[in-house]
Amino acid sequence: MIFRKSRTPQSSEPEPQPARPGSKGRPTRTRKEAEAARRRPLVVDDRKEARRRDRERASRERQESQQALMTGDEKKMPAQHRGPERSFVRDVVDSRWNIAEFFFPIALVFMVLSLFLPLIRPQLTTVLTTGMIILLWGGIAICVIDGLVLRKRLRHLVTERFGEVQRGLVSYGIMRAIQIRRFRLPRVQIKHGQAPR
């Protein structure tokens, strides 16, 4: 006992190590802890409630996108109508008089007349048939020429403003030009002859 060295009592708590640069400052989770945190039930307890919530959410999103098409709010529009390039193309199409938007309603009226007039006056059948063929094929030819002119103009204006024509941008404008003006979606934002925004 006399020759024993006296030992200094050691503290039970280890001294805190200084944090290494780049460390996260906490111990890494074990694999078991990480798997437990990720674990969740595969089947929802109340499926009907989950389906009802999904339907309500989808319905709300559809209403918001439909409202955005009416008001011109690009943030909530469907993806195919968003972007400054598409907005510019819409304005270019809406600022000009497009032959196709007038041709299709006129052709529809003539087709209805060709169905009912022969019942009233059978002797007009040949005249109506010939007139319909001339009107339809002549109108289609004029619409194709107008579409080619619009295509060239869109390519020129988009390249001038944005530097590059995205794939599908010109056909987006031509499809809009075919539609009747008051039924176009997104709604028309400018008048005929007005410069695109």
Write the DSSP assignment of 2-29 as a string of letters. -SPPPPPPPPSSPPPPPPPTT--SSPPP
Residue 67, in any domain of the structure: no
Please name which of 190, 175, 197, 195 lies closest in space to residue 98, comparing C-alpha atoms. 175
- pLDDT reported for residue 65: 86
Exposed, middle or buried, 132 (CB in 10 Å: 0-12/13-18/19+)? middle
Residue 150, in any domain of the structure: yes
Residue 9 has pLDDT above 70, yes or no: no
Residue 169, in any domain of the structure: yes
Residue 128, in any domain of the structure: yes
Exposed, middle or buried, 9 (CB in 10 Å: 0-12/13-18/19+)? exposed
**Residue type at position 60:** R
Specify the range with the lowest mean pLDDT, choosing from 1-15, 82-96, 124-138, 143-157: 1-15
- pLDDT reported for residue 148: 96
Residue 20, in any domain of the structure: no
User: Which pLDDT tens digit goes with each residue over 58-85?
Assistant: 999 889 888 888 888 888 888 888 889 9
Pick the residue with more confidence: 14 or 98?
98
Whole-structure pTM value? 0.66
- pLDDT reported for residue 106: 87
Counting the structural domains of the chain, the total is 1
Residue 111, in any domain of the structure: yes
Residue 132, in any domain of the structure: yes
Mean pLDDT of the chain: 83
User: Which pLDDT tens digit goes with each residue over 176-195?
Assistant: 999 989 899 899 989 988 88
Exposed, middle or buried, 89 (CB in 10 Å: 0-12/13-18/19+)? buried
Domain span at 88: 74-183
Residue 42, in any domain of the structure: no
How far are the Cα atoms of 63, 161, 181 from residue 80, in angstroms, in the given order? 17, 20, 19
User: Which pLDDT tens digit goes with each residue over 109-131?
Assistant: 888 877 787 777 777 777 877 88
